[in-house]
Amino acid sequence: MERICVFSGSSAGVAPAYDRAARTLGEQLARSGIDLVYGGASVGLMGAVADAVLEAGGQVTGVIPQALVDKEVAHLGLTGLRIVNSMHERKALMANLSDGFIALPGGIGTLEEIFEVWTWAQLGSHTKPCALLNVLGFYDGMLAFLDHVAGQGFLKPVHRDMLLVEEYPAAILRAMQRYRAPIDAKWIKRAEH
Ligand code: AMP
């Protein structure tokens, strides 16, 4: 993996562990020679992960819509900043640039972003790993709900299992390196793309 996209809160959250996890992940990425792709903001956990990669000597590409440059205070110290026209363009570019996706704790923007790339994986339109960094059990409630969704027959176990979950950054990077997409994509056969 050369580049990983990290989705994370534009807020910092209440527990200091969230910021620590964002920084540790950033350091691990830089140390592993993996570039960061993210939403280009300087605020919240988004800013924390980017700063940590930069401080450790790594490369960071931010992708931010023009309309959010002021609101999310675009990070001006990045090795690359791509200003796009819409949220849709932002997500498409982040996805195309990246070899895998990690969600740190975050709000509905973070949730939307990781769910979107996971649904694309389910459809077989990419084979890149999608992962949650479950800091302090932040995602436990959502994971229990996802098991309910699977139990009720709306999500196949094979697709449920595509979402990697780890508590620590080093473990998540190892799990992503090992990941092989299942051949059972929902609608599209692998040979078709
Ligand atoms: P949040 O997790 O809500 O703090 O948001 C994290 C990031 O997701 C911020 O950069 C938001 O601008 C971004 N975001 C929120 N909604 C969307 C969306 N529909 N498409 C792309 N990015 C989004």
Over residues 113-172, the pLDDT tens digits come to: 999 999 999 999 999 999 999 999 999 999 999 999 999 999 999 999 999 999 999 999
Test site for ligand 1: of 18, 81, 110, 135, most ligand atoms within 8 A of the Cβ = 110
**The two three-digit tokens of residue 125, written as one number:** 């339109």
How many Å lie between the centroid of ligand 1 and the Cα of residue 39? 8
The predicted pLDDT at position 183 comes to 81
- pLDDT tens digit sequence for 124-141: 999 999 999 999 999 999
- pLDDT tens digit sequence for 42-62: 999 999 999 999 999 999 999
Chain centre distance of CA 34: 14
Per domain, the residue ranges of the chain are 3-176
Q: Which fold has domain 3-176?
A: Rossmann fold (3.40.50)
User: CA-to-CA distance for 77 and 2, rounded, in angstroms?
Assistant: 21
User: CA-to-CA distance for 192 and 179, rounded, in angstroms?
Assistant: 21
pTM strictly above 0.85 = yes
Strand locations in 134-187, DSSP E?
163-166
Cα dihedral 177, 123, 91, 105 in deg (nearest 10):
-60
User: CA-to-CA distance for 75 and 53, rounded, in angstroms?
Assistant: 13
Test site for ligand 1: of 6, 84, 87, most ligand atoms within 8 A of the Cβ = 87
The predicted pLDDT at position 60 comes to 98
Report CA-CA distances (Å) from 56 to 63, 82, 119.
20, 22, 33
